[in-house]
Amino acid sequence: MNYEGLKIPNHVAIIMDGNGRWAKERGMTRSEGHKAGFSMLKKLTEYIFSRGIKVLSVYAFSTENFKRSKQEVNFLMNLFETKFKEYADIVKKKGIRVVFSGKKASPLPDKVIRIMQEIEEDTKENKVGILNLCVNYGGHLEIVEATKKICKLVQEGKLSLEEITEENFSHYLFQDLPPIDFMIRTSGEIRISNFMLYQLSYAEMYFSKVYFPSFDCQCFDDAILAYNKRNRRFGGIQDENENN
């Protein structure tokens, strides 16, 4: 779809849900569902950046996802190990920087952590846009970790309480990203699931019943059309002359 004349969100975030149910409906394994999810993610990512969106955040693996079966966790870790580079190379060519939000520590395998660090280093000069992959990520964890970083700086006398503001708090998060304008969650679940709690404060939200491996570029266009019908007021009122 041509996006000319449409409002384009600067930062889009996607909770990619429904890989397991997509697979079950087809008599396939959950792993096959994740593989299909990854294929769709590659297509969508290229499409999204080609349409002028500057920042894309995706929820690939939460801190809570480690509670899943060993087999499923291993499959996903293996997928990250073998596919992160292939995925990053696609966007790197378009001048996109790739960053990872989440704790780069155990229980993430060392190999996966190393690949994440290499990709961040390799793409750090790219300026066209940012792809933010949330891996071993939790929204509470991100805020707690930011608080610890700030406390340490205060303890060391490098930062004063007055210097901590709403404008600069995001410097201490896993990644310093602009606020999310539009969040999409697939598969019919209507919740945030500990995803980017700080950045979502004024995001418009869109919940689709479609499972992520079937959420294609046309589904994304539908979401953008819905976003264009939203009236964003950021806590203000639309018509200053409205009667009280």
Positions marked active-site = 17, 65
The DSSP bridge partners found for residue 134 are: 59, 101
Residue 2 makes CB contacts below 8 A (sequence gap 6+) with none
139 binds ligand FPP (CB under 6 A): no
Query: Is the separation of the CB atoms in 173 and 196 below 8 Å?
Result: no
Q: What b/e string do you get for 58-68 counting C-beta neighbours within 10 Å, with b at 16 or more?
A: bbbbbbebeee
Strand 182-185 and strand 204-207: pairing? parallel
Tell me if residue 61 falls in helix, strand or coil. strand
Nearest to 180 by CA among 148, 202, 159: 202
Q: Is 94 exposed, middle or buried (0-12, 13-18, 19+ CB in 10 A)?
A: middle
Whose Cβ is closer to ligand FPP: residue 182's or residue 211's? 211
What is the nearest approach in angstroms of ligand FPP to the Cβ of residue 210? 12
Footprint (CB under 6 A) of ligand FPP, residues 36-75: 37-38, 41, 60, 65
What is the nearest approach in angstroms of ligand FPP to the Cβ of residue 237? 38
Whose Cβ is closer to ligand FPP: residue 63's or residue 172's? 63
138 binds ligand FPP (CB under 6 A): no
11, 12, 14, 84: which one binds ligand FPP (CB under 6 A) = 84
100 binds ligand FPP (CB under 6 A): no
Q: Which stretch binds ligand FPP (CB under 6 A): 12-20, 102-110, 139-147, 236-244?
A: 12-20
Residues contributing to the site for ligand FPP (CB under 6 A): 16-21, 34, 37-38, 41, 60, 65, 79-80, 83-84, 87, 133, 187, 212
